Structure 1
């Protein structure tokens, strides 16, 4: 009784989930020692709000229904109640089973509906039974981790005004084997507009559920998403809390592919209406476009068409610069832009020719001298910009999507948005940049690097607009006044490396979100003119820049809110960490 039940896809590849099973065995398995640790943590809670678990039921396999209920009864956290609404199940075994369980445990409350009304009506009937300060949503064939509600209680104690709490999740097969975990980022509003990343486990303050009108009939298939969006619109980001632990096991039942096919149309329609009404309520306009994987893109309407200054630092490499300029002029459909070329002592004959032709075409050439300092070059270019928006571009890029600038500007025009970044591919059509992840490789690296073009990445994140802590300065669009107010790139301490990351983090400090979009695409011949940071003569300066970033942002390098502490800092592929950085849960 949920949005679209997962299917067991593990046979598609040769056991791709073996590393996760090993990780679960080492870090996420329940034992006597873990039970003792959980009891000790429970003892630290002086306030224990009641959590009402909402369980709508309609004809589930009986053994999975029993397992779902037992997963609640076995919670370490004692202050719970289970509110079950049987939605007129036609299986004659269901009602007697539920009545017997309610008789055996007075924390279990049951209502049997006279007629089937689908999941929204059933969930509201279960809500009628609830008395808890918070409600947790559970499907009739899924399972909670034994310490799920304890973790929720601990999070509430840390953030007493929490309105929504969500956790990581995985899937569980008919035999109880766990696989395909979704290790989520912290609250990520732009990702949430493309997929219901809250999903499971989702816990909501009951007063907010009542205030926004509960579950809405007619939104079946996206009822949880619709509820969460209506609450999100009215609370502060700090009231939306993420627990980076797998607390929910989503049942994947063999044979449910047919069900997905029959329900696909209404679920898609419900999701479209969910997002469409969200745009109306928040006073925004945009086109809703399905994304492969059952998710969404909002193509925001542009409220204005500001002049954008394209800032391109360059030195020699005439063929690359020529290719870059030709792709911009030949493909870009955005009507109002200027090109500002910051020339760092180009001597190559062809480069000088390309620069002269660019000047003749009306583009401005800004000379720069001295040792190579990328941050100083972009700052110099911005100082000469006439546009209200500036877009930093490397000279080794080629435009792929003609409306790239419309896409990036449409995001930058939105309130609260700082920097906007794009999708970059290597010439072999593998991903070079789909956002920056902090801490990977030391300071930062690019998400999904070397994944094939079109890959879904971590649960479709490589295909969806979302917030990252930073994006590469190779394509970075921002309001010029924000750029200047934040002090631009740090040309003193971060002359070559990490100026873009540092700049995005300073915007974050000022309350602005960084957006990455996969719908502005470029081919990137990476660092073709800059060279290697570890080459002789550059190594020492790079080490100083690493030290500076660790000094400024060390706390975020260890726990990037757009990443997850269960994922590795050694590679760019969203694979599992050697151990959870938040500490072993059951140590």
Structure 2
């Protein structure tokens, strides 16, 4: 008992150190309200991504025993056509000990069908040549080429590529490690997806003192996030014929040569040919000169990445500029057309005229995008102050007031508003929001006009300057807000609270979409989902129709959600809320537990904490 309490306190203090007392207490109260004391105790037992917790997670769920190794060997023996995987390793003056460890991590693979193609880029340390000659002689699967002069990593990688005979190429730096089951899971993915062109896995970091730490559990293929950060990175695996089609690694992109390579490869692939393996199959060594520590270790790498994205957009005919983002990611700014399309901003008015007045005032006074109309839908408010305000507002600032006296149903009211909208795009906006940045609407429109985009959402802040909406993560409670209550100074899990990305769902508190797409889906479900989740359901139907939903942190508004809490609490007490949860679980069950914009190694509450246990089998 004492040890359990000690563990709870340790994890609680770790959370406080990361997020502060205020945010920690708020999260605890939310969990207590939603899940009771038992739920709070479970969260305390499993929360935190500290190094100590990750070490325990690795021990439980990512360490093979003899039986698991035997099962993997049996599965390998069952492969009808096991692919040869070529591990590509350029090297230049690596630490000899670390270099040997990297090579041995390949030789120690449970999957035997591999070759290691090493190109030495004219290392000046004679020990490196001795090591290479030794391995070249003792293992016929290791091929070595010695370059006569140093050409840097792109040229060296191309020299290694010349030796490749495998069907797929896996990239490995000269001081990093592959876990023993890495190539097995790659071969397994190839077996299931024989036309795959790019395969990538989750990754973590390690050093000689702390062991493994800092896991990056990635989402499935996410085009928009990939233009914000190199989410493929490690372990990256490419079909050899594709690598040669695109001309291999390009000179001039050193530091982000693999990012540039991946960008050129995906241009020739369908999204279904880009496969994510949700397992840590790469250990990235942290040392003073490594970008595993920070991209600041090699600032030229950031600039090379920026150039690679700009080149990619230019090749694809996309009018956009690329900027360095926050943190060490990128921001793509899509160009707006010369003639701005009309946006209909649709606001459902409740019984708080002071909130609506604040919302309308912020739109009129702080919005840089000029081509918009405002439609206010009065759902039958009997507040004299509200009625007086609406009467005075009608006709001002390109504003119309519509009245629908049906019983409150936000989905039906949104559908009603869209049918009366004149805009090419419609923006659903809560009446308790307030514009922060003038470019909010232009940002949303510029993304919504891109091919394949469905709904686009904004970053919404609570009045206390903590994050209220960073997109939605699907889970056991249908959906949760990502990074909720996170202070503004933080950028979230691997920057994901500060980077443009695709998400499965976006809140209707601020949701912009082309009107023709909205109508093609016959709007929101106003029959089964009268109280909640109509926005989640709408977004999931967009996914099923082949669209992607995009969230941008650069469209920023405040959301005074506390003004709606009494309504939300009332909703929770109604039987209809439970029936709507059941409806969503019956319709989308497997998807709710496997959000493609999330990861099965992370908890289902959207917190990006570790899942105990993960929702994948070990072997």
Correspondence 1:80 to 2:114: yes
1:58-97: CA deviations, max 9, x gaps? Answer: 1111111111000100111111000000111111110011
Once the 2 structures are TM-superposed, how far is the Cα of residue 353 of structure 1 from its aligned partner?
A: 2.4
1:311-331: CA deviations, max 9, x gaps? Answer: 001121011111101111110
Once the 2 structures are TM-superposed, how far is the Cα of residue 528 of structure 1 from its aligned partner?
A: 2.5
Cα distance in 2, alignment partners of residues 147 and 80 from structure 1? 13
Is the 2:288–2:297 Cα contact (8 Å) retained in structure 1?
Answer: no
1:22-72: CA deviations, max 9, x gaps? Answer: 110100013323212221222331120100000001111111111100010
Is the 2:289–2:297 Cα contact (8 Å) retained in structure 1?
Answer: no
1:268-319: CA deviations, max 9, x gaps? Answer: 3211210111111000121211113321000110124100000001121011
Cα distance in 1, alignment partners of residues 137 and 292 from structure 2? 36
Is the 2:470–2:483 Cα contact (8 Å) retained in structure 1?
Answer: yes
Aligned to 1:382: 418
Q: 1:392 aligns with which of 422, 425, 428?
A: 428
1:198-244: CA deviations, max 9, x gaps? Answer: 00000000000000110001110110010000010111000000000
Against the structure 1 CA distance between its residues 537 and 134, is the aligned structure 2 distance closer, same or farther, given a 3 Å change threshold?
closer
SS at match of 2:264: helix
Is the 2:473–2:479 Cα contact (8 Å) retained in structure 1?
Answer: yes
Is the 1:438–1:557 Cα contact (8 Å) retained in structure 2?
Answer: yes
Aligned to 2:141: 107
Against the structure 1 CA distance between its residues 31 and 449, is the aligned structure 2 distance closer, same or farther, given a 3 Å change threshold?
same
Correspondence 1:35 to 2:69: yes
Cα distance in 1, alignment partners of residues 570 and 277 from structure 2? 41
Q: 2:132 aligns with which of 72, 82, 98?
A: 98
Cα distance in 2, alignment partners of residues 530 and 169 from structure 1? 40
Aligned to 2:270: 236
Aligned to 1:422: 458
SS at match of 1:115: coil
Once the 2 structures are TM-superposed, how far is the Cα of residue 525 of structure 1 from its aligned partner?
A: 1.2
Aligned to 1:358: 393
SS at match of 1:535: helix
1:377-404: CA deviations, max 9, x gaps? Answer: 1111111100010000000000011110
Is the 2:502–2:549 Cα contact (8 Å) retained in structure 1?
Answer: yes
Stretch moving more, 356-365 or 122-131: 356-365
Is the 1:315–1:529 Cα contact (8 Å) retained in structure 2?
Answer: no
Cα distance in 1, alignment partners of residues 410 and 143 from structure 2? 65
Cα distance in 2, alignment partners of residues 349 and 102 from structure 1? 86
Against the structure 1 CA distance between its residues 537 and 436, is the aligned structure 2 distance closer, same or farther, given a 3 Å change threshold?
closer
Against the structure 1 CA distance between its residues 258 and 412, is the aligned structure 2 distance closer, same or farther, given a 3 Å change threshold?
closer
Correspondence 1:476 to 2:511: yes
Against the structure 1 CA distance between its residues 338 and 41, is the aligned structure 2 distance closer, same or farther, given a 3 Å change threshold?
same
Against the structure 1 CA distance between its residues 258 and 17, is the aligned structure 2 distance closer, same or farther, given a 3 Å change threshold?
closer
Is the 2:531–2:571 Cα contact (8 Å) retained in structure 1?
Answer: no
Cα distance in 2, alignment partners of residues 341 and 521 from structure 1? 21
Against the structure 1 CA distance between its residues 148 and 309, is the aligned structure 2 distance closer, same or farther, given a 3 Å change threshold?
same
Q: 1:189 aligns with which of 223, 231, 247?
A: 223
Aligned to 2:30: none
TM-score by length of 1: 0.94
Cα distance in 1, alignment partners of residues 70 and 299 from structure 2? 47
Is the 1:465–1:518 Cα contact (8 Å) retained in structure 2?
Answer: yes
Q: 1:162 aligns with which of 196, 205, 216?
A: 196
Is the 2:114–2:141 Cα contact (8 Å) retained in structure 1?
Answer: yes
Stretch moving more, 76-85 or 289-298: 289-298
Aligned to 1:60: 94
Cα distance in 1, alignment partners of residues 423 and 450 from structure 2? 17
Correspondence 1:410 to 2:437: no
